[in-house]
Structure 1
Amino acid sequence: MRTARFIGSWLAGLLSLATAALLFMLWLRFVLGSGNDTPVAFLLIIGVGLNLMVWSLIGLIRLIDEWIHKLLGRDPFGSRRELPRRAKARIRDEDKRVTFAARSRSGARRARRTPTPVLNPDTGEFEIPKVNTDPETISLAVIIPAHNEEPVIDGAIRSALRLFDRWDIYVVSDSSSDATAEIAAQTGVNVLELLTNRGKAGAIEAVIQEFDLIDNYDGVVILDADTELDENYVKGVRDQLRDPTVAAVAGFVVAEWKPQQRTVIGRLIAAYRDRLYWLMQYMLRFGQTWRFTSVTFIVPGFASTYRTSVLKHLDINPEGLVIEDFNMTFEVHHKKLGRISMRPDTKAYSQDPFTLSDYKSQVRRWSLGFWQTVRRHGIWPSLFWFSLFFYILEIVLVAALLLLTALIFVFVLPPALFGEEVLVVEWYAAGYAAVTSVLPLSTVAVGLFVPDYILTCVVAMIRRRPSYLFYGLFYLPLRLLDSYLMLITIPQAWTTKSDGRWKSPTRMPVKTP
């Protein structure tokens, strides 16, 4: 059975590769035969994006750089940085209770272990580093904020228990009305219940202060309640924290693929997200998190790790933001607290929405959170903002042009469906002639759809999932929805005040091995 599955997966990969190669040849033939007046290159930019192309090239350079260092046996870590001092804010209200506090085998809370002394090349003496860079002694706490996550909280905790001791796991139930807190307490981990709904950022802030995690640990891992950690996650995080300039480690998100638990719409969403995650991480963020760049604008909140020496300087829960992860990432860059690291060895599996309604709500929340963070932090001279400017410029223009091109496609489609009879309407005939003289129907269809679908074939090949070839036929409507939601949330970021409270989408139980 395992052999048959292995052979089938490789056949699926070959089928996807063949489809991608065939489409590329047909598309290239179409471009070469269409003449210089057809703006196919313009449509290619809409379909793929210049940022993706540029950062893919930088990511390739990073790959070569790291391969050379590995070959030479050199450690590519940079120098240490001093962190600014800032008083830690305290939560004033006391509407919280510790439902269960786990204890270590010695009966006490986990204390931070003393890092190994390292040789200071300037003084020739061994000194305790300002931040712990010893992967053997780096202590990590796990925070799982949850609001009405009864279906998935047990699976998320069990996933964390494979890699962490129970007294290092802290669940904060953000005024849940279901059995979230009770289920968490039964697993033996630390549980904090908030009696007033504060939102995810407020819940994170509360549990950090209640258990004094900054003083007791070297780093804090923040997980969503539907996240399942890969078995190598902790090893990957500790290895990246060997670099004293690393302030945070971004988790490498993998879309959970359990098609038997989903409807057709749910599978379409999961397949679309899997492709999006792969493209964004390998072709964008991998280059953005190189040690010479470090300009990524998001440390995803589903599975991220922050040094506590950095975390204490972050304003985790400012007023008016709907989500916390964009803000925390901007804080790291704006306050020059260190760099963001990301590698594929810190994988974690995330559960994407099952319904179109939940998908729409999630994308709107993410988009609004991004623009609210841009509004809050403003612009400051830096490589980060230089990169962010061109990213924002492209996503806004591409979203607007993508929607406009879709409208053009709908406008010129009727004659192909109903014949030349529709051209008897004078105003429509004039508009049709003007539009098709610049953008023929075939050019719009081929130029907009084919490059995007080729990327789908590549991901289907890598993931060895031939079903993506089918679902990829319907990705364009989701891209249009993403573009629409991204554009309408721009003005809302300046007019809408958020309190960070959230409603969990439809969940399916997380099953851990």
Structure 2
Amino acid sequence: MILLSIVLVLGISTIFWSLAGLVRLVGERWWRVRELSRRASGWIHLQFGGKAPIPRRARHRSKGVRIYPSNVAVLVAAHNEALVIKETILAASALVPRRNIHVISDMSTDDTAAIARAAGVKVLELEPNRGKAGALAAGIAHFDLCKRFKVVMLLDADTRPTPDYLETGLPLFSDPTVVAVAGRAKSIMSPPPPTAMGRFLVAYRERLYIVVQLLLKYGQASRGANVVSIVPGFASMYRTSALAKIEVLAPGLVIEDFNMTFEIHAKKLGRIAFHPGAAVAYTQDPDNLKDYIKQVRRWILGFWQTVRRHGLQFSKFWFVLGLYIVELVASCIFFVLLVPAFLLSSVAAVEVWIFGNRSDVFVFLSGVLRPQDVLIGVFLPDLVLTVLAAVSMRSPRFLLLAPLFPFMRILDAVICLQVLPKAYSSRSSGVWVSPVRRVQRTPQGINVPERSVVRTG
């Protein structure tokens, strides 16, 4: 039981792709050392023996065609984001010329469109509300982005890309087979949310980002694998030659990023690149339980809806996806039953050891899920993930919250199983309502206008 618990808590996929990521890391380090040595010597080894000097112009040349920031369009879909849109535009304008920034105001009833126009970027106002996917599709078509640019960067209205986002992300397109670069998500942690619950939720979300991106996605994006299941829509890039072939607006889906990623695999458009040190951006995560549940429900429903839409096909990606779905459902069932099973086992143990009831049923139930089983099989494996987050973030405060994180996984599991039937019994319009935004200083040191927190939408 303990071994099964450990596997379900950590996940077979996490273990496997962590090992794949470790192999990739070693390979990249070895290649980097080799290339530095070759460039320092100024010589290259010939295919059939001997060596020759590296041509001066070739020493710093990347394979493929280099893409410059001027070739990148930024596309922001926004619905009632007056509180944050100005700072998002300011952050994006540090990466590309403002004429390259396009804001789609999806039936905003606040000053989103006016603020964007005053900032000097291109603006398209839509009515009625089309949802994020509809807004993105309308913006791509209206501004003819796939013909005018080589790369389109999708940016959420509350996202803050780092100043070196393009400097680190664009070189991944030097491989001509790469059609999308998945941005690395980080939570905006400073200043912290005003409530203890808010700080806990943001810390848990940051831990999730670290686990998914470092232990799963890094290995999945290896050249020989290419089985990344999501290019997050908050801050990622698409080569326009591939974007033109993606059905961005798929009917009946609540979110677009899973579907766009599945489209890449289904249509065999190319590779999805991801590196933890490239294309980094910060996002504002929910800091109250209501918005957290709403966002998680929307994400998971979007995943199940996308699986429903595409089905399982015969390919490496869908084989990996199928195994992950089996593991996901099993893990969710385990976490949902964890508390009832522990309570039932504890009651049976009380009957056996205190009241002396030695019936076979109570003896069996008392050993199903003992306290030491929960500690070793659930809390300690989950603690390993928290230690990884603490080391990665260089923040020991994650360890103080470690005992509470498994309870959030129970909540996530309940939501996952709850929305699964809805993905097959109902369709979504895609119409959105923005969550609560909080006033803060961005990671780049930009001051957000001093206004009280408001609820938009």
- TM-score computed with the length of structure 1 as normaliser: 0.77
Deviations 1:213-251 (A, max 9, x none): 111000100011110001111012210011110010000
Q: Quote the residue 1:467 is aligned against.
A: 397
Identify which range, 182-191 or 318-327, moves more after superposition. Answer: 182-191
Q: Quote the residue 1:31 is aligned against.
A: none
Partner Cα separation in structure 2 for residue 430 and residue 361 of structure 1: 44
Q: Quote the residue 1:215 is aligned against.
A: 147
| Equivalences for residues 99-118 of structure 1 within 5 A | none
| Equivalences for residues 383-394 of structure 1 within 5 A | 383-394=316-327
Q: Quote the residue 2:430 is aligned against.
A: 500
- The one-letter code sitting in structure 2 at the alignment partner of 1:384 is F
Distance change in 2, residues 1:477/1:447 (3 Å): same
Q: Quote the residue 1:395 is aligned against.
A: 328
Corresponding position: 1:476 with 2:406:
yes
SS at match of 2:398: helix
- The one-letter code sitting in structure 2 at the alignment partner of 1:186 is A
SS at match of 2:341: helix
Answer yes or no: is the 8 Å Cα contact 2:342–2:370 preserved in 1: no
Answer yes or no: is the 8 Å Cα contact 2:193–2:287 preserved in 1: no
Q: Quote the residue 2:279 is aligned against.
A: 346
Distance change in 2, residues 1:132/1:173 (3 Å): farther
SS at match of 1:142: strand
Partner Cα separation in structure 2 for residue 228 and residue 448 of structure 1: 35
| Equivalences for residues 207-286 of structure 1 within 5 A | 207-286=139-218
Shift of 1:297: 0.7
Corresponding position: 1:490 with 2:423:
no
Corresponding position: 1:45 with 2:23:
no
Distance change in 2, residues 1:495/1:356 (3 Å): same
Answer yes or no: is the 8 Å Cα contact 1:249–1:304 preserved in 2: yes
Distance change in 2, residues 1:144/1:136 (3 Å): closer
In structure 1, stretches of 5+ residues that fail to align are 1-38, 75-130
Corresponding position: 1:374 with 2:304:
no
Shift of 1:404: 1.5
Deviations 1:142-179 (A, max 9, x none): 00101111221112111111111110000111101111
Identify which range, 454-463 or 281-290, moves more after superposition. Answer: 454-463
Partner Cα separation in structure 1 for residue 192 and residue 316 of structure 2: 45
Shift of 1:446: 3.1
Partner Cα separation in structure 1 for residue 249 and residue 353 of structure 2: 57
- The one-letter code sitting in structure 2 at the alignment partner of 1:146 is A
- TM-score computed with the length of structure 2 as normaliser: 0.86
Partner Cα separation in structure 1 for residue 159 and residue 402 of structure 2: 25
Distance change in 2, residues 1:473/1:164 (3 Å): same
Identify which range, 278-287 or 469-478, moves more after superposition. Answer: 469-478
- The one-letter code sitting in structure 1 at the alignment partner of 2:33 is L
2:223 maps to which of 288, 291, 315? 291
Q: Quote the residue 2:31 is aligned against.
A: 69
Answer yes or no: is the 8 Å Cα contact 1:298–1:329 preserved in 2: yes
Deviations 1:396-421 (A, max 9, x none): 111101221222113234589xx769
SS at match of 2:367: helix
Partner Cα separation in structure 2 for residue 454 and residue 421 of structure 1: 34
Distance change in 2, residues 1:360/1:273 (3 Å): same
- The one-letter code sitting in structure 2 at the alignment partner of 1:455 is L
Q: Quote the residue 2:297 is aligned against.
A: 364
Partner Cα separation in structure 2 for residue 495 and residue 422 of structure 1: 48
SS at match of 1:231: coil
| Equivalences for residues 18-29 of structure 1 within 5 A | none
Partner Cα separation in structure 1 for residue 353 and residue 195 of structure 2: 38
Q: Quote the residue 2:45 is aligned against.
A: none
Q: Quote the residue 1:438 is aligned against.
A: 368
Distance change in 2, residues 1:136/1:159 (3 Å): closer
Figure out how many residues of one structure are paired with residues of the other and give that number.
416
SS at match of 1:462: helix
SS at match of 1:53: helix
Aligned CA-pair RMSD: 2.2
Partner Cα separation in structure 1 for residue 352 and residue 326 of structure 2: 41
- The one-letter code sitting in structure 2 at the alignment partner of 1:498 is S
Deviations 1:45-88 (A, max 9, x none): 122111101000101111122223223329xxxxxxxxxxxxxx
